[in-house]
Amino acid sequence: MSSCSSQPQTHVVQTVSISYTQLKDKGADLSAKIEEGFGPNGLGILSIADVPGYSSLRQSLLHLSPRLAGLSDDQKRDLEDPDSRYNFGWSHGKEKLESGKPDTLKGSFYANPVLDKPTSDPALIQRYPSYCGANIWPRSALPELEPAFKALGKLILEVGMLLAYHCDLYAFQGMKMLEDDGLEQILRRSRCHKGRLLYYFPAKHSSCSQDGESMSSWCGWHTDHGSLTGLTRAMFKKDAVEISCPDNAAGLYVKSRSGELVKVVYGEDEIAYQIGETTEILSRGRLCATPHCVRAPLGEAAFGVDRSTFALFMQPDWDEKLKFPEVVHIHQELIPSRGSLTFGEYTEKLLDKYYHLKM
């Protein structure tokens, strides 16, 4: 039997964890845990434990992921939306890996869990198609998907709002700030929240890649550009039966401020949250985003194993005016001298920077 003996020099870190009971207590002082997880010396991630109803909602949605990916090509084609850069409905092979090649390893399904059609204004839909477009549900082929997707997305959103409240208390302590300028209120008035159901197709043969790119073999290195990303722990299956991850080296990796690669783990029944670049900028660096990637399992045990997970991208409204501080360390070239952009404008500039042209 072959083996993959060469592994990157990393260590495993359990996320900073906050109980749901603590989180919903607005009088609780969680600043130490917020700083440990999201502060300048943190990994940009923490997790929330014991959320009522979460475990069953996670199971319900993730079990549907292989069925969605298994729809016929014609059915999946009907779920595609090229006008939104494939940011609504089904997407497979449209994104690019770090090598520049199309990513055929995973399929994604995107939808707004709160609003099926956030606006009817054709000008806005044309200007910000990745946010203002309409959801596309496989209501005939897979009717269970819509209610499961919305239920989990809304729960992760509401827990994230509670977390945003405590982030504001930490990030703006000692600073004068209008209530409407805080992360919680920015997210509450947004119509832009987007869920992403991911399905990683099973390997058709065992892999024992030794190159550096194997570290990011399932999801390339990136930093989320929104405000706060909620994550479920992945579900692995082989022959339609749920199993444990077949490779201890596989999983979510984060690059720390010092450049160290760290494998981050959290409980199956915990919701993890990561800070995005927009929050780092608006909090003046008190809440910090970090680059991260996902490493695929390698070796014989990984043959025929698929992976399903769900992410909720919590982000400002497309019309939200971002008040940038005088000193910005991220994407300085995108921010005008007047220091003001809407989130929609900022996003389009970022997409043009990364993709150079519209897909």
CB 230 within 8 A of CB 157: yes
- pLDDT for res 125: 94
Q: Which residue has the higher pLDDT, 180 or 354?
A: 180
As a whole number of angstroms, the distance between CA 200 and CA 332 comes to 34
Q: Which of 76-85, 100-109, 153-162, 201-210 has the lowest mean pLDDT?
A: 201-210
C-alpha angle 28/33/39, rounded to 5°?
A: 125
CB 87 within 8 A of CB 344: no
Average pLDDT over residues 308-316: 97
Q: What are phi and psi of 137, to 5 degrees?
A: -105, 145
- pLDDT for res 5: 38
As a whole number of angstroms, the distance between CA 226 and CA 130 comes to 13
Rg of the chain over all Cα atoms, to the nearest angstrom: 20
Query: Rounded to whole angstroms, what are the CA distances from 273 to 5, 19, 59, 190?
Result: 32, 13, 19, 18
- pLDDT level of residue 330 (50, 70, 90 thresholds): low
Q: Which residue has the higher pLDDT, 161 or 1?
A: 161
Which residues have CB under 8 Å from 204's CB, separation 6+?
303
Which residue shows structure tokens 């900022």?
346
Burial degree of 326 (CB within 10 A; 0-12, 13-18, 19+):
exposed
pLDDT digits (tens, 9 = 90+) for 258-291: 888 999 999 999 999 999 988 988 888 899 999 9
pLDDT digits (tens, 9 = 90+) for 124-177: 999 999 999 999 999 999 999 999 999 999 999 999 999 999 999 999 886 666
- pLDDT for res 100: 55
pLDDT at 346 over 80: no
pLDDT digits (tens, 9 = 90+) for 202-235: 877 555 544 444 555 567 778 888 899 999 999 9
Which residues have CB under 8 Å from 214's CB, separation 6+?
207, 295, 296, 298
- pLDDT level of residue 322 (50, 70, 90 thresholds): confident
The three state secondary structure string of the chain is CCCCCCCCCCEEEECEEEEHHHHCCCCCCCHHHHHHHHCCCCCCEEEEECCCCHHHHHHHHHCCHHHHHCCCHHHHHCCCCHHHCCCCEEEECCCECCCCCECCCEEEEEECCCCCCCCCCHHHHHHCHHHHCCCCCCCCCCCCHHHHHHHHHHHHHHHHHHHHHHHHHHHCCCCCCCHHHCHHHHHHCCCCCEEEEEEECCECCCCCCCCHHHHHCCEEEECCCCCEEEECCCEEEECCEEECCCCCCCEEEEECCCCCEEEEECCCCCEEEEECHHHHHHCCCCCCCCCEEEECCCCHHHECEEEEEEEEEECCCCCCEEECCCCCCCCHHHCCCCCEEEHHHHHHHHHHHHHCCCC
pLDDT at 90 over 60: yes
pLDDT digits (tens, 9 = 90+) for 19-63: 999 999 999 999 999 999 999 999 999 999 999 999 999 999 999
- pLDDT for res 212: 40
- pLDDT for res 333: 56
C-alpha angle 138/65/293, rounded to 5°?
A: 125
Q: What is the mean pLDDT of the chain?
A: 86
pLDDT at 316 over 80: yes
pLDDT at 326 over 80: no
- pLDDT for res 2: 37
As a whole number of angstroms, the distance between CA 137 and CA 133 comes to 13
**Token digits of residue 17:** 């964890």
